[in-house]
Every structure is written in C-alpha cells, then in structure tokens.
Amino acid sequence: MPELPEVETTRRGVAPWLEGVTPPEVRIHNPSLRWPIPADLPDQLTGTPITAVGRRAKYLLLRNARGTALVHLGMSGSLRLSPPEEPRRPHDHVEIPLAERILRFNDPRRFGAWLWSTDPEQHPLLAKLGPEPLGPDFDGDHLYRLSRGRRASVKAFIMDAAIVVGVGNIYASEALFMAGIHPQRPAGRVGRARYRRLAEAIREVLAKAIELGGTTLRDFTDSQGNPGYFRQSLAVYGREGEPCHHCGQPLRHRVIGQRGTVFCVRCQR
C-alpha cells in the first residue's frame, strides 16, 4: 500500500499541473471504487480553478471554491500524468484533461477513493486523525503522553492513525531500528527520552523517503511513472536473515499486530 512518502511524492508531482487550472471536464470510467464516486463529483470539479493540492495523512486534497475532492490511492492506486495521445490503460478509472497532459487515476484493485466534501477537516475519514508526523504538533512528548498505560506494542502504537498519521509498516520498522527500540516493547514501558528519539527518527525516515521519491514496492511509481528509490536505503524492512548494518547480527522476523516485522535483537531493546 502506498504510504505517506509515496502520497506526498505524488502530491508534489501533480500539484504544479493542477493548481490554478480549471478542469474542462472530469471523466469517470468506473465509479465503483472502495466507496462509489459521487455522481456530482465531475460537476463540482469542472469549471472552477483548483486552488491547492494538499495532503492529510494518506489522502490527497484537491481544493476549489466549492469544496474538496478527497483522493486515496488504496492498495494499488496511482495518479499518473500522461501525454494526451497515450491510450487509456485498463483500470484507468478517472481522467482529468489538462493543457498538455491527462491526469489519470489507475487502481487495479479498486480499493482507492474519490470523494467530495465541503468541510474536509470534519469529514468522518479525517476528523479523528492524529497529527502529521512532519508537522509542528508531533513530537516525543506527544507520543509519551498518549502511551501511558498502553499495553499494545510500541510498533502498533505508532502505526495507529489516531496517534500519528502516515507511519505505515515500512517506516515504523525503520524508525524503531533507528531509535534502538524493540518493536514488541509495550508502548507504556517506553520512557520520555526514548520517545523523543523515536519521534525524531520518524521525522528523519519519512523526510528521507520523501526526498528519494518513496519506496519501490510492487507497482508504486510517482506521477511521471518513475519508481521510488528509498528501498535502497532500508536498514531492516525486507532484510530478514541479513546482517544488521550496525552490529552484524542476523536480523530477525516476527509478526506483530498481523504485520511482518524485521528487527535486530542486539541493537533494539
């Protein structure tokens, strides 16, 4: 599933092509996504300039004077800027013609979403989300405060979108390794100083992944069809049995919260 760096990479790729542009039309080829695309969404997006392309958690926000389109890439979705002459591919469910490109939403599994809201911050999908990990409201004290009394693993804790958004399986594993925290340690048994290190690790891992264009997993590509390259920098994720970069100990794999987790028993406590 595309995680926050992949979504932010996509946002940065499409924003220059959309902001200030008035879509002449929106073509819906298949409205049956995770939730049905609202019948009036094309009318809401056409004829009015897109003022901003934002992001909240893993949702892209296409804003205009009428409201906001909430776009989620789902498990396998992508937004791609195609030349006008390029034929529509299978699973291109939404198209927005632009001056020199066509913005196409492709989603083979149809688990993505295109929704409409006049008050996105209060939309049920966004209203109860935690702070952005790269924003000013997130730090180690925030994690420490909310973790008190929690028996769940620290990995499950930081992957809870009500605690902080956008820390998926890959980046949770990488941040915990960087902070030297065992992923199975109960969240309530991690001290304030270690949470401060963990918050900084989360910021560093996500910022680096965004800089490198996301992680190449399965079929993720950016808006130009280019793969991300953060995978080349992964310290633990997907490296079960390989030596730890710090101590040389073979990395171990364990299922935590139904997600595969790779970690170092010597470096993470």
Going by C-alpha positions, the residue among 57, 92, 91, 81 that lies closest to residue 71 is 57
- Whether 58 is a known active-site residue: answer yes
Contact (Cβ atoms closer than 8 angstroms) between residue 214 and residue 233: no
The predicted model scores a pTM of 0.89
Q: Which pLDDT does position 99 carry in this prediction?
A: 87
Active site residue 3: yes
> Is residue 259 annotated as a catalytic residue, yes or no?
yes
Is residue 2 very low, low, confident or very high in pLDDT (cuts 50, 70, 90)?
Answer: confident
Q: What is the pLDDT of residues 24-77, one digit of tens each?
A: 999 999 999 999 999 999 999 999 999 999 999 999 999 999 999 999 999 989
Euclidean distance between CA atoms 20 and 163, whole angstroms: 34
Q: Using DSSP bridges, classify how beta strands 102-106 and 78-82 pair: parallel, antiparallel or unpaired.
A: antiparallel
Which of the following is catalytic: 11, 58, 80, 104? Answer: 58
- The answer to whether 157 and 187 are in contact (CB under 8 A) is yes
CATH code for the part of the protein at 140-263: 1.10.8.50
Q: 4-122 is classed in which CATH architecture? A: Alpha-Beta Barrel (3.20)
Question: Which sequence spans correspond to the domains of the chain?
Answer: 4-122, 140-263
Residue 3 binned pLDDT confidence (cut-offs 50, 70, 90): confident
212-258 tens-digit pLDDT? 875 543 333 444 555 444 455 799 999 999 999 999 999 999 999 88
